Amino acid sequence: MIAAGSLYFWTKLEQANAMVPQLPSIIQETITGPSEILASDGSVLFRVAAEFREPVAYGDIPQHVIDATLAAEDKRFFSHDGVDSIAMMRVLWVTAASGRSTQGGSTITMQLAKRVFSGSEKTLERKVQDISLALMMERSMSKEQILGLYLNQVFYGNGAYGISAAADVYFGKSLKDLTIGEAALLSRLVRRPSQENPFRNPEIAKTNRDVVLGIMLEEKFITKAEYDKAIKEPIKLAKSAKVEVNRDKKFPFFVDYVLAELDKKYPDIDLARGGYRVETTLDPKIQTIVDAEIKNTINRYRRLRVTTAAFLVVDKSGRIVGMCGGGTTSATSSTWPRKDDVNRVRPSSRSSMRRDSKPVPSVRTAP
């Protein structure tokens, strides 16, 4: 039986290897924050995002957050090669009999492989492909790189992708300020973020938190004193879980113009997921004057039923340093280029990007 199971496993593994994509530069390609449109002084005018994500370096993740994740998802992460062999043999036997995966057993590396490459399909072939990918990743990357990727990629519910965004959404605080109890609560959300949403099911969230705290104590991730403090800690969630992306445009008329120019010049880039930095020539001080002058001009001639006005300010080099049109600071006039739906930009490789000098914008990928 064991020999037959092993043969079946390795046969499926070889089949999966044939269809496994080449491991890309995964760190650069999969962890990307929102693209940013910048003024000439480096200030952010607008962030374009498809999802709420706040990428964070592994070295900036508090140790107790890492420990809570290991306790909840993979306490032997630093000792295995990407696959829990005993658990996997059990899973493969069950899925071979039923035709679909009915049990867990996935390590953090396997979960990351599934999120980056495989999708959510639960079949035997997909499970074995996840195993193959996990083994490849363990050979190509350090444990810290894998765990850092996981903590930046995983979905915590309520629109939050990555542990930093989750800290903001659920507790309204930065990652570095999470308590041990809060880290324990978040660590369990990745399993069933919708069903165990703490805003709707606070009792379930508390039970799950306490389970993780118990494992952290058992594994000596925390002391008895830390456990006692965390277990008594009341859960203080943020007032609202509402998450909005693509909001808070600064100088919206100019930003809309830039988005339209990007759509024309670089139709194949995905701003929402690319993590690009768009450097423009806008001078915020001049733009503030332009916005004020627009309002003053319209008010001055309102008795003549003037409802729109336009200003375009360029420097000696012909670069746009200030722009506005219409009755407000939003690009509503059909005579000006506009782009509302930035998410319809199609994906492409970053190598197709080039740097232009004027008028706007110049684009480069974020470091």
> Are 78 and 43 members of one domain?
no
Region 296-316: mean pLDDT is 77
Domain contains 258? yes
What confidence tens digit (pLDDT) does each residue in 63-122 have? 999 999 999 999 889 988 888 776 667 666 766 666 655 555 689 998 888 877 655 566
> Are 292 and 318 members of one domain?
yes
- At 55 the three-state DSSP class reads coil
> Are 43 and 63 members of one domain?
no
Q: Is the pLDDT of residue 200 over 80?
A: yes
Place of tokens 């309204």: 172
Backbone angles phi, psi at 38, to 5 degrees: -115, 145
Least confident span in 62-66, 116-120, 149-153, 325-329: 325-329
Domain contains 127? yes
Domain contains 238? no
Domain contains 239? no
Provide the pLDDT for residue 310: 73
> Are 338 and 273 members of one domain?
yes
> Are 62 and 187 members of one domain?
yes
Q: For residue 169, what is the domain's CATH number?
A: 1.10.3810.10
Provide the pLDDT for residue 4: 54
Question: Could you tell me which of 293, 268, 283 has the C-alpha nearest to residue 345?
Answer: 268
Domain containing 146: what range? Answer: 2-31+51-232
- Residue 360 pairs in a beta bridge with none
Q: Is the pLDDT of residue 125 over 50?
A: yes
Provide the pLDDT for residue 350: 28
Domain boundary at 232, 263, 279, which? Answer: 232
The confidence band for 329, taking pLDDT boundaries of 50, 70 and 90, is: very low
Domain contains 241? no
> Are 75 and 171 members of one domain?
yes
Amino acid symbol at 366? A
CB 144 within 8 A of CB 60: no
Place of tokens 């071979």: 96
Task: Determine whether 80 is exposed, middle or buried from the number of CB atoms within 10 Å of its CB (0-12, 13-18, 19+).
Answer: middle
Domain contains 237? no
> Are 285 and 314 members of one domain?
yes
Residue 171's contacts (CB-CB under 8 Å, 6 or more residues apart) are 178, 182, 236, 237, 238
pLDDT, greater one: 38 or 84? 38
Least confident span in 37-46, 241-250, 267-276: 241-250
Q: Are strands 52-53 and 320-326 parallel, antiparallel or unpaired?
A: unpaired
Q: How far apart are CA 346 and CA 330, in angstroms?
A: 25
> Are 225 and 308 members of one domain?
no
> Are 359 and 253 members of one domain?
yes
Q: Is the pLDDT of residue 317 over 50?
A: yes
Ranked by mean pLDDT, which of 19-33, 229-243, 335-349 comes out on top? 229-243
Provide the pLDDT for residue 300: 80
pLDDT, greater one: 89 or 179? 179
Domain contains 240? no
pLDDT, greater one: 68 or 136? 68
Q: Is the pLDDT of residue 175 over 90?
A: yes
Q: Is the pLDDT of residue 184 over 90?
A: yes
Question: Could you tell me which of 250, 239, 310, 240 has the C-alpha nearest to residue 280?
Answer: 250
The confidence band for 268, taking pLDDT boundaries of 50, 70 and 90, is: low
How many distinct structural domains can be found in the chain?
2
> Are 264 and 351 members of one domain?
yes
Q: How far apart are CA 134 and CA 139, in angstroms?
A: 9
Backbone angles phi, psi at 9, to 5 degrees: -60, -50
Domain boundary at 206, 232, 258, which? Answer: 232
> Are 97 and 228 members of one domain?
yes
Region 333-354: mean pLDDT is 31
> Are 200 and 314 members of one domain?
no
Domain contains 79? yes
The confidence band for 358, taking pLDDT boundaries of 50, 70 and 90, is: very low
Least confident span in 65-69, 138-142, 226-230, 272-276: 272-276
